[in-house]
Amino acid sequence: MEIMKGFYLAFLFLGVSSLHVFAAHVFPGARHSDEVVKSVTFRSPAFTLGPGEVQNTYYQGVPFVEGHVALKAFDAEVVDESGNSVPLNEVYLHHWVALNYIGTNSTDYVPHGPISSSGSIIGNDGVCPNHALSQIYGLGSETRKTSTYLPGPYGIEVGKYENELWLLNVHAIDTRGTIDPFGCLECRCDLYNVTVGEDGKPLRDGYQGGLFCCYDGVRCQLKDGYVGENRTYYLEYTVHYQEWDDSILPLKIYIFDSTFEGSTCKVFVHVLVLNRMDSVLRP
Ligand SMILES: *[C@@H]1O[C@H](CO)[C@@H](O)[C@H](O)[C@H]1NC(C)=O
Ligand SMILES: *[C@@H]1O[C@H](CO)[C@@H](O)[C@H](O)[C@H]1NC(C)=O
Ligand SMILES: *[C@@H]1O[C@H](CO)[C@@H](O)[C@H](O)[C@H]1NC(C)=O
């Protein structure tokens, strides 16, 4: 399911923030349930990045709140071994995704999809076929300190099923020591010296940059002679939740995709990459 590899990020953000506003305005008197909201913080498995390196990993069966609960908010960010936030100009979080599925805790890395049987994803109520954009939460670096809090009686219902597990997809780019950090974030193929995709097949003609060039394990070009340590990081995530009860109004998540063309959500758009030097020299 290669569609899981890229995300048309604006839509979840707009969706969540407009719901937030909607709920706050339409039901100003709704019972505020702050007093019963609990929070618990977890970490993904550790991952190690050297300067310029990319990781795009699917972690299955990650730690999560047990039982039938309503999610009120979810915060996630990349931290180091001491739990400190990692500056985005060192490790850029290209995207992260959290979704629930019914299955077993297989830790096998599945290169072309998070779960071999995609039918087991629970995820959201979005419109894309084949479980594209099926995350409950997720976005990129900009989610750090962006509130996802659902006010009033609203909550996202999870944990209804017996074998419900959680999956995290973390795509991070370490830009320390790179010749063009911004180009690394744009996933420019020349900077990654990439001419074939993750599947070993040549990239299509004219493909200059995008997710097909910054897949797991590639490295963005470093400044001559740059040597930097390997560092260990985690995605740290805090789940704010309350026990399920009948007073909670289940909030459904719908993600729309502007690239939908009748049968597939393409999830991300390929834009011709301009040569930025040219545009600087010849505006
Ligand atoms: C799944 O396996 C990983 C790695 O062995 C472990 O850390 C995690 O706690 C397991 N999750 C569940 C839900 O059993
Ligand atoms: C780029 O990749 C080619 C083959 O894939 C390899 O021969 C060459 O050494 C690489 N260049 C750098 C700078 O890593
Ligand atoms: C970083 O790890 C790689 C192997 O994963 C190793 O080849 C390299 O020497 C390490 N770099 C440093 C500076 O320790």
Residue 166 falls inside a structural domain: yes
Question: Is the backbone of residue 6 left (phi > 0), alpha (psi -120 to 50) or beta?
Answer: beta
Other residues' Cβ atoms within 10 Å of the Cβ of residue 149: 15
Q: What distance in angstroms lies between residue 101's CA and the mean position of ligand 1's atoms?
A: 14
Spatial contact of 191 and 221, defined as CB atoms under 8 Å apart:
yes
Q: What distance in angstroms lies between residue 249's CA and the mean position of ligand 1's atoms?
A: 31
DSSP string, 105-122: ------TT-SSSSGGGB-
Residue 30 falls inside a structural domain: no
Residue 275 falls inside a structural domain: no
Mean pLDDT of the chain, nearest integer: 81
In angstroms and rounded to an integer, the radius of gyration of the C-alpha atoms of the chain is: 20
Spatial contact of 156 and 253, defined as CB atoms under 8 Å apart:
yes
pLDDT tens-digit readout, 93-118: 999 999 998 887 765 545 445 455 54
Q: Which residue owns the Cα nearest ligand 3 atom 8?
A: 230
Total length of the chain = 283
User: By C-alpha distance, which of 56, 36, 34 is closest to 47?
Assistant: 56
Q: Which residue ranges have their beta carbon within 6 Å of ligand 1?
A: 61, 63, 105, 107, 165
Q: Please name the residue that has the structure tokens 């470093």.
A: 222
Other residues' Cβ atoms within 10 Å of the Cβ of residue 261: 8
Of the pLDDT bands very low, low, confident and very high (cuts 50, 70, 90), residue 17 is very low
Residue 121 falls inside a structural domain: yes
Residue 282 falls inside a structural domain: no
Give the pLDDT confidence score for residue 261 in this predicted structure.
80
What integer is the mean pLDDT of 176-190?
96
Other residues' Cβ atoms within 10 Å of the Cβ of residue 160: 12
Other residues' Cβ atoms within 10 Å of the Cβ of residue 209: 20
Q: Which residue ranges have their beta carbon within 6 Å of ligand 3?
A: 50, 227, 229-230
Q: What distance in angstroms lies between residue 50's CA and the mean position of ligand 3's atoms?
A: 7
Which three-class secondary structure state does DSSP give residue 24?
helix
Range in 90-104, 113-127, 130-144, 226-240 with the lowest mean pLDDT: 113-127
Residue 269 falls inside a structural domain: no
The tokens for 117 are 């049987």
Q: Which of 53, 230, 231, 233 to mutate to test the pocket of ligand 3 (most atoms within 8 A of CB)?
A: 230
Of the pLDDT bands very low, low, confident and very high (cuts 50, 70, 90), residue 78 is very high
What integer is the mean pLDDT of 77-99?
94
Residue 281 falls inside a structural domain: no
Residue 279 falls inside a structural domain: no
Answer whether residue 259 shows pLDDT above 80. yes
Total domains, the chain:
1
Q: What distance in angstroms lies between residue 189's CA and the mean position of ligand 1's atoms?
A: 35
The tokens for 210 are 């995008």
Q: Which atom of ligand 1 is nearest to the CA of 60?
A: 1
Domain span at residue 171?
Answer: 2-23+36-263
Other residues' Cβ atoms within 10 Å of the Cβ of residue 144: 14
